[in-house]
């Protein structure tokens, strides 16, 4: 802020703001009269001048507050602060100032320092204002958090500069603010009021994983060692370099009203050949759509293990149904470690869950086997549809037997036999989780589109930027911030975060509340 001098009284504190307001109005009037400004030029000048006015008004606020504090001290109206160790700070020293970078510019904040021998200074005014620990204001930090969740830290810094009219923070500072902004994610949801539903409403849990390219030092230990061994064996092109990713776990909880369906609501077989057209019925039976996901809640972590994220998902679900009165449906992709962790968490909490494997994953296996048996034509597509319909009717073992027999009857290469064998093994091993006939009759969802979309939105759309290599802290912060925005909880979270910042930066330093 140019030509700044501490205002001697409350009236003088806003004199500069008044003068600049008058200058802005006068300039707009004169150029409007002579007509030498285009509309966009006028807008740029007024916005820039208005930002300068806002900066001086904000400085005036801090100057008046400083004058009020000094006046209160002179009148003996300020209590002696006591630090957390019980030491009284009786010595008062005026003239202490710090800079605060705000969205409209940098202001100087003056306040009294309360001192005591051998102890750090106390600044009660800082506590009253809830000033941040660093240079940038909480509003700047909030902007950094939102923009960091949308794009790279470099792009976030540029977006903030456009919003604020001037560079306010370097990319590294933006990254640091984003990391700090996400610090209270877990605590926020621990205390948040749960979203309740009726007993008949389904409670659906789903978890999946997505890899993120990491800096070598932030890979998990086993992956890092594999990467080092591969590097020693010979240099590979970036596209061929293995062991670069660390798995992030994404979890979701949502409510859904049950919708009873039948297998042919999911897949309808095409009629073979041309048949005589029958008289069209008065009303064609429409396919029934599946249960609609509502009140979705997302979480994700790359720092925590999958079991920890699964526990957080169960925490959210249990908050919605503390009495375990609702039907819990857990959609998974079939990975055994994931299933084991989910079952262990449910057993520990005494919750009866219904595990269902995502039907789309089953279709992928069926498609692989059909392409081996029938190639890529219509015959393969028909085979997939027929097998899928059989699986939907709860007879996955029949499909496994048919595929196994087909592989034995035909002359296939060992590689093709292996592909069919993988499908057969999958169907047999996962039979208990493929009872789609029961799931459809009960009105449950059978596809994990919610978690697939969450993985794309939380991870791929932001952390899969070409050439990006993430630190553990940076990736974790971005995941948390994107989850907050996706949950539509960011504004409420930010209010909670500011309370936590006040506790960390100020209240914790005092014996009594500041």
pLDDT tens digit sequence for 93-141: 998 999 999 999 999 999 999 999 999 999 999 999 999 999 999 999 9
Strand partners, 114: 92, 122
Residue 420, exposed/middle/buried by CB under 10 A (0-12, 13-18, 19+)? buried
H or E segment at 71?
A: helix 39-74
CB 13 within 8 A of CB 21: no
Angle value at C-alpha 252, between 251 and 257, nearest 5 degrees: 155
pLDDT band at 5 (very low <50, low <70, confident <90, very high): low
Number of H helices, E strands in the chain: 21, 7
Angle value at C-alpha 380, between 377 and 381, nearest 5 degrees: 90
Q: How far apart are CA 67 and CA 47, in angstroms?
A: 30
- Mean pLDDT confidence for 173-190: 97
The conformation of residue 342, written as its DSSP 8-state character, comes to H
- pLDDT at residue 64 in the model: 95
pLDDT tens digit sequence for 220-238: 888 888 877 777 666 555 5
Q: Is residue 274 predicted with pLDDT exceeding 80?
A: no
User: Could you tell me the CA-to-CA distances from 422 to 226, 347, 357, 367, 430 in Å, in that order?
Assistant: 26, 30, 16, 12, 12
pLDDT tens digit sequence for 20-63: 999 999 999 999 999 999 999 999 999 999 999 999 999 999 99
Per the structure block, which two tokens stand in for 205?
């849990």
Q: How far apart are CA 116 and CA 84, in angstroms?
A: 13
User: Could you tell me the CA-to-CA distances from 217 to 237, 238, 322 in Å, in that order?
Assistant: 20, 17, 41
Alpha helix ranges (H) inside 350-489: 359-374, 378-392, 396-409, 414-429, 436-442, 449-454, 461-463, 472-486
- pLDDT at residue 514 in the model: 44
Q: SS3 letters for 201-225?
A: CEEEEEEEEEEEEECHHHCCHHHHH
Sign of CA dihedral 35, 39, 41, 43: positive
User: CB atoms < 10 A from the CB of 488, how many?
Assistant: 10
CB 109 within 8 A of CB 60: no
Q: Which of 4-18, 182-196, 262-276 has the lowest mean pLDDT?
A: 262-276
Backbone angles phi, psi at 202, to 5 degrees: -70, 145
Percent of the chain at pLDDT > 70 equals 93
Per the structure block, which two tokens stand in for 460?
């791929």
């Amino acid at each position: 802020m140019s030509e700044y001098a501490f205002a001697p009284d409350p009236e003088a504190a806003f004199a500069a703001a008044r003068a600049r307001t008058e200058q802005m109005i006068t300039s707009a009037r004169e150029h409007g009269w002579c007509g030498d400004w285009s509309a966009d030029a006028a807008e740029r000048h007024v916005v820039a001048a208005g930002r300068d006015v806002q900066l001086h008004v904000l400085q005036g606020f801090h100057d008046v507050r400083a004058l009020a504090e000094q006046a209160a001290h002179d009148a003996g109206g300020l209590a002696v602060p006591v630090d957390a160790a019980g030491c009284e700070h009786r010595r008062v020293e005026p003239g202490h100032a710090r800079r605060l970078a705000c969205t409209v510019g940098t202001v100087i904040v003056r306040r009294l320092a309360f001192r005591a021998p051998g102890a750090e200074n106390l600044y009660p005014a800082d506590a009253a204002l809830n000033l941040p620990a660093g240079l940038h204001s909480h509003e700047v930090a909030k902007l950094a958090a939102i923009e960091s969740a949308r794009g790279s830290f470099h792009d976030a810094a540029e977006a903030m500069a456009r919003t604020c009219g001037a560079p306010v923070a370097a990319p590294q500072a933006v990254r640091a603010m984003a990391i700090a902004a996400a610090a209270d994610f877990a605590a926020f949801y621990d205390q948040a009021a749960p979203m309740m539903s009726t007993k008949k409403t389904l409670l659906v849990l789903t978890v999946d994983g997505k890899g993120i390219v990491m800096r070598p030092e932030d890979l998990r230990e086993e992956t890092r060692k594999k990467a080092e061994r591969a590097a020693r064996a010979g240099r590979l092109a970036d596209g061929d370099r293995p062991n670069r990713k660390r798995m992030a776990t994404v979890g979701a909880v949502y409510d859904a009203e049950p919708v009873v369906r039948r297998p042919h609501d999911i897949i309808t077989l095409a009629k073979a050949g041309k048949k005589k057209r029958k008289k069209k019925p008065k009303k064609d039976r429409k396919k029934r759509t599946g249960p609609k996901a509502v009140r979705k809640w997302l979480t994700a972590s790359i720092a925590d293990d999958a079991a920890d994220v699964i526990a957080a998902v169960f925490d959210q679900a249990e908050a919605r149904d503390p009495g375990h009165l609702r039907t819990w449906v857990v959609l998974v992709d079939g990975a055994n470690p994931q299933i084991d962790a989910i079952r262990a968490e449910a057993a520990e909490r005494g919750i009866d869950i219904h595990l269902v494997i995502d039907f789309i994953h089953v279709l992928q296996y069926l498609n692989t086997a059909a392409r081996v048996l029938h190639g890529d034509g219509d015959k393969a597509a028909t085979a997939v549809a027929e097998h899928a319909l059989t699986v939907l009717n709860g007879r996955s073992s029949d499909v496994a037997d048919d595929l196994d027999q087909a592989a034995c009857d035909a002359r296939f290469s060992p590689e093709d036999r292996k592909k069919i064998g993988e499908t057969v093994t999958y169907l047999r091993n996962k039979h208990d989780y493929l009872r789609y006939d029961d799931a459809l009759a009960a009105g449950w969802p059978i596809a994990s589109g919610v978690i697939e979309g969450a993985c794309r939105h939380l991870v791929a759309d932001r952390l899969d930027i070409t050439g990006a290599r993430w630190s553990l802290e940076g990736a974790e912060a971005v995941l948390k911030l994107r989850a907050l925005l996706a949950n539509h909880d960011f504004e409420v979270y930010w209010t909670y975060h500011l309370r936590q910042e006040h506790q960390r930066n100020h209240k914790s330093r005092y014996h009594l509340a500041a």
